[in-house]
Structure 1
Amino acid sequence: MIIVGGDRGAKSFIALACNVLLLVMAVFIISHGVNPVLVTIIGTIIFCQITLIYQNGHNLKTYAAVISVVGVILLLSLLVSILGTKSNLGGYSELDLSSELSVYLSPNININMNQLMICMIIISLLGAVMDTAMAITSSLYEFNEVNSELTFSELVRLGFNVGRDILGTTVNTIFFATIGETMMIGILFIKNKYTFESVINSKEFYKNLFDLVISNIGCLLIIPISIFICTYMIKSNNSFIKKVKDYCQKMSNEN
């Protein structure tokens, strides 16, 4: 990373190490009984601080990306909480119950499995959402730097042009990642002669399908949300945005 990216590569490596440490701490805290959803939301804010602000600096595009990511994560947490709880998605699947995991490890760990499931899904899509948000806000910021005469609607239109290009590759990335993770499960279903009805009604299949669908919803939501938030922050002149711009300018000058 350092050879290819230079100073930015070094920052990326440090950010990666910090994220690994933060994730280990989050698992440790959850294992001691703290609400997994609360830990995940707080962790998301810190992840954004490390991954976005530390690597890209204090500027409007970075803050717009952070606000967009946190907003999408809150919306998805609510959606996953409602659908996951109603469908009893948390806990062991039928494949887990038939494996050595259920024989040697006790499932009675005093943690709400539905809340833990929300935590797992949110963390699994966080990288793709942050990447998409930063790509969108960086593009809009550069468009405005090249031509500051662009109106709000013109900048939004350009943002959606970029978003459509990003959407296809992002969705495919999530799809292939999910397929790669579940390939062994698919082979197990085939080898054990599961019927089509058994597969689509299995908890393991539903878990992976649910994860894939929520991840894609997150990537869909982040595009318009980041476009409108970033465009508003670039074009708005209200007192709050002026303070943010002044703060970003001050931090840039110090660096």
Structure 2
Amino acid sequence: MQRRKVIFSGILIALSGIILWMFTTHDAFLYKQSIAEVINVKNEEPVETEDPYQNKDETTQQILTLKVLNGKNKGKIVTAQNEFSKSGAYDQKYHEGQQVFLNIHHHKKKLTANISHYKRDTYLIMLVWLVTVLLYVFMHVKGLRTLLSVIMNFIIFLIFVEIDVSYDFTNFFWLFATSAIIFTGLSLVLVIGWNKQCLVSFLSIVFGTTVALILGILILYLTGNQGIHYEALDFATQEPQQLFLSATVIGLLGAVMDAATDIVSTLFEMKRKQPEISAKQLYKSGQEVGHAIMGPLINVLLMIFFAETFAIAVLYFRTGNTYAYTFEWAMALGVAQALISGIGITLVIPSASFLCSRFLGRRNKKCPQS
């Protein structure tokens, strides 16, 4: 019976993925903007370019033949031009079979078109499907609750962004700091439940995040922000420093939450299995758990930083910039954020261990059920 259930679940999961793939590759009718499929590509000879700073690149013109998939022009064939560079920083090379958004114009009873951007919904939805499947397979209902917390946090984040855009706050850092506290509380309640474990986790996360952020800001202030170019932030339309700090507090929160929940959940489980364990033993165990996870977590932060800066760093190197210039303008902000997050991880280890030892440390006190 169990084997049949597993096979049936696997078939349902596979069918859901196939159905989603088929639907998203044929969902052009859902969009108001014109969508077309690339049916033929002609690449011209590449041309070398050089800017006033002696940065060299190579650009290639494409002539694309496209078939419109929706709207009043459905089924019509149009041509469009595209230019892509060898560095590939702000442009894209197109291939046959890809779908793109078009801006179609009528000129002297002839259709002309230019590409707006690439249609990515299929890949995004399939990634969401894969994450959902993995959470369900390995964590069951708890995994779905985790996914629900992610969705709700994303919605809350969009609400706070909309508030910032609508009211154009001068000091908007506090707006996103507030959103970070809401993220923390909501995630813990949904994943852990409303109990003492949730409370201890929340207090340790808030403490570690707050103190690490204060120390980071203090260090930046005392050093005069040397080597930190806030103006290097992409598309910064508000105060660059506040944008940097807002992004830092959200990233810091994620790192601290990871460490805190690992320590707190481990100590609560130890208390359930060993009710006689003392506060001193709990604190020592929390420290040992923290030291064990600190190295991997900091390495994860570095990997995330490398992933975020990889493309722009390669572009800087390909266009002849020095290591020092590339680091200062493309990587320094990310390094600063990673260091502040590392401080948060270091601080949350003793704070989470101490709070757990105070809440659970009495020998005759049983661990509260989650």
TM-score category, normalised to shorter length: 0.7 to 0.9
One-letter amino acid matched to 2:140: G
Residue 114 of structure 2 corresponds to: none
1:12 matched to 2:146? The reply is yes
Higher relative contact order (CA 8 A, sep 6+): 1
1:206 matched to 2:332? The reply is yes
- Alpha carbons 1:163, 1:223 under 8 Å: kept: yes
Q: Quick one: which of 149, 158, 181 aligns to 1:45?
A: 181
> What is the Cα-based RMSD across aligned positions, in Å?
2.6
Residue 320 of structure 2 corresponds to: 193
Distance apart, 1:81 and its partner CA:
2.9
| Structure-to-structure mapping, 1:142-221, within 5 angstroms | 142-200=269-327, 202-221=328-347
Residue 31 of structure 2 corresponds to: none
Question: Residues 56-88 of structure 1: CA distance to partner in whole angstroms, max 9, x if unpaired?
Answer: 112222211100111122113323333445317
- Alpha carbons 2:201, 2:352 under 8 Å: kept: yes
- Alpha carbons 2:277, 2:361 under 8 Å: kept: no
Compare the two structures and name the one with the higher strand fraction: 2
1:52–1:90: structure 2 CA closer, same or farther, 3 Å change rule? farther
Moved over 6 A (4+): none
Distance apart, 1:29 and its partner CA:
2.2
One-letter amino acid matched to 1:41: A
Give the gaps of 5 or more residues in structure 2. Answer: 1-131
Give the gaps of 5 or more residues in structure 1. Answer: 102-106
Residue 138 of structure 1 corresponds to: 265
Question: Residues 214-249 of structure 1: CA distance to partner in whole angstroms, max 9, x if unpaired?
Answer: 121111111111111121122269xxxx9xx9xx77
Alignment size in residue pairs: 229
Instruction: Determine helix, strand or coil for the equivalent of 1:92.
Output: helix
- Alpha carbons 1:90, 1:117 under 8 Å: kept: no
TM-score by length of 2: 0.56
1:167–1:234: structure 2 CA closer, same or farther, 3 Å change rule? same
Structure 1 residues 53-62 or 80-89, which shifts more?
A: 80-89
Larger Rg: 2
Residue 23 of structure 1 corresponds to: 157
1:196–1:9: structure 2 CA closer, same or farther, 3 Å change rule? closer
1:236–1:45: structure 2 CA closer, same or farther, 3 Å change rule? farther
Percent identity reads: 25
Distance apart, 1:126 and its partner CA:
1.9
